[in-house]
A and B are shown apart, each in its own frame.
Chain A
Amino acid sequence: MNGPFPEAQRGLLASIGHLLTVDSVRVYRRPKIVHDAIWGTCEYDPWEAGLLDLPLLQRIRGLKQTGFAYLTYPAAEHSRFQHVLGVTHAASRVFDSLRRRRDADGVSPRAKQNKGALSEILDDRLASRNRVLLRLAGLVHDLGHSFLSHSSERIFGLIPPFPDLIGEVLRQHDKKPGAAEVVVYLLVTSSEWRDVVGRIWERCSGPGTPPTEDEWARIGRWVMGIEPEGPKKFLCDIVSGPVDADKLDYVARDAYFAGIPIAQDVDRFLSTVCIDRQTNPETTKEWWRLTLPLQKGINALEQLVMSKLVLYSYLYHHQKVRAAELTFERNLAREYLTQGRILGIEGVWDLFHVQDAHLYAVTGGRPGHNRAADVAYRVLPRRVVEFREQDVTLEEPDRARSIQEYRRLSSLSRPKSWDQYHQLLTYEDSLARQANLPDSSVIVDFPADPDYGDLESLVLPGRSPHEQATAKEHLSYGDWIQAYNKHRVYNRVFYFGDEKSLERLWTVLAEDFGARKLRLPERLQMWR
């Protein structure tokens, strides 16, 4: 990719180059066995074990997978490192299952009509190469994260050159990747990365030659969910798609480490997942997609969606998790807008050699002078009020105007640019000042619609070549999600302050909402 990519790549490599040293990489002759909490005994090939020794991969041991969730669920301290091991294992399990069942139900009836296209991918010699690439994609897919994972990604994704990089991918591929995925692409398409992998490959007796420049570019695209070759699209789907190895791992892992019981029958999923051939009506191009069959795969899909819904309800939307994430994000945004840096880090590329522990370093072990970093010490705001749309909008004849104002407020609190962050922080500070509180004491939170990962794009093939349905047509998950949105997604106002300031803030909020044709009924006060 051209445009802003070459310069960004130079910037990234200049900042993380010191983590690409092979000095600490041991020589592996045999596969390495790892016991994982989710997948049990997992095997990693010698060159994979060598890669895992790289300081760049060891770094992600220090990035918590679920950000600040551990402040609420103490055991949720699992790392990105554990997750990439799981995804690597899961990716090859999916691939192996498809290969093993390629003459049976691993390939849908209409995909079987053009089996030749798949032989280039699933036949013995090429299959082993594709399996190697898939597992490497699993190993590298999260190397673009910085401290506290998605909490910082929402901020650094707005710092130049990320908007330009994402815009370039959008222009070229009609796909909007996450900022962390773009970092992975920049890394794995660099000559420095290829050189390091080549040396590890040699040391650890990798099969054949290490991945070529083209193969690394393909891995980088897979991580962003892009595969221009129709027959290979299902490989990309295994890495990043509606039912990918990433989801298989993190749904089970996040629930397990948070201590939230969920039912996810991975064996059933692996025995039903299949390749389907789908035709884009606009371009008439054929795409081989990873999906689940209509009749046999519904249960596995249902479990996956339900598990994610439970995770939103218990974990991702938990009020203390939101309080921690938003305190962190708002204060990172404030620091960037006023000082052009985040947590003291000036250059955006320097974010990719730090770990979560950077927060403790910023506080110097003495919380009290940096609100973003203090979150690590669980210095969190309290709820003033929590509400849903139906709780605060007015009835007729003011209903239309009231909903319009509600929407303006919710849009304001879901910033997508620095201008919008500036407007939001100004609004929150104005509330704080009116309540005689210092700036950055008030946070207004309207969570966005939960992300279930492109499930609506999933097409489920039937028993005959012409039978198919979207997931939505055959699953009631749409009902669950919409009901969850309507009744369980709460907006909140948080504040830092004492009991006295709470009284003042309540009055200020009631006035502000009143001016917006919204109401704050007494019953909505949580902790007054």
Chain B
Amino acid sequence: MVTKEKQYVDYADALTAFSTGLGEPEWMLQLRLEALNSIEKLELPIIERLRYNRWPLFQVPNLTGAPAAKSVDITQFIQDKADAARVVQTGNETVIETLPESLKEKGVIFTDIQTALKDHSELVKEAYMQIAVKPQKNQITAFHAAFMNSGLFLYVPKNVVVEEPLEAIFIQNSLVEDSFIKHVLVYADVNSSFDYVERFFTAGQEKNAANILVEVVAKQGAQVKFSAVDQLGENTTTYFNRAGHTFRDASIDWAIGVMNNGSTIADLDTNLMGDGSSSDLKAVAISSGKQTQVIDSNVVSYGKSTTGNIYQHGVILDRATLTFNGIGHIIKGAKGSDAQQESRVLMLSDKARGDANPILLIDENEVTAGHAASVGRVDPEEMYYLMSRGIEKSEAERLVIRGFLGSVISAIPLKSIRDELVETIERKLTSR
């Protein structure tokens, strides 16, 4: 299993000092220590069609609390200045935090997790690894709970509607050797409604692990539109878990561009707990070089009349691997629920490996469900048609691929990020 010089429990003192040094509340320290004690006893999550027990995911972070020896120049990643709500973090540090007065007045909280733990301890405690993901879910979540070293807290109060998207940018600092254990907690209170957009980058070439846990808790009637573009570096080995939990009539819609350059597991889990709640999950991915990316989308209906859609499209180049697992699960009692999924992989190289693996688990009779999956090549008829209008082969191929990935692009609320995603796609395609 995990190679390590000492047992995780041996880190208890260092972890206590780390937590105390940050001024964390007592409950947080206890949560960390309990998680630490359970790591060894837990299993890795099972990811269909992937063996990853040798991936270097368990890198204990620097617990000294000292700032990183080298700092990231953010201008490489962000050119514009936003007047709207924006948080930018490089490594474990928060470098920009902007929240319009109008949102502050309404009680919106959008700040780094450490500040939130100081100023809003009880509110964070309500949701932090309590609802969407429990620390003991598996070995990776326990490791995360123990060693989490930075993050973000977004809270939108009851009945508050935020018009402009709230934006977060996380830049992993791989100019230094350190583990990136980021926690994002999005807490949507009753009947709130907003868009949240996040982006992940890596600065530097150090070989580091990333263990990222994003929790979205949507209370009764809350509507969350979540979009993300992930572009972690080629020397980063990532486990991403984005987990949603819906109360009655709530919805969480995900639009996620999995555009990392290194080995990645993206676990996208939504539990539709409340009756009438829904989730629409759209993910697009490109794998290139020799990288492996696995996108594991899991929508589970517990409540009655829930709706869960999974839509995954991906492109593979070079010798890369891309696997889509789509798991639609309707639990006994979730009458009137609907689980649909579509996973499609486009192979642009003979040496690439692609897999689209639909799984429907239905434990209730009065439901509807469906799936479609395919792994294939660019349709020669489509290419012929575009080229017959004078469009060059390379351009025609780009158009077809962009069209194929387009559904997620159009679901992202910020034009600048849509454009960036298009640019990223084009860059990956032209690097062949």
Partners in one complex: no
User: Residues on B close to A: CB < 8 A?
Assistant: none
A-side residues, CB < 8 A to B, are none
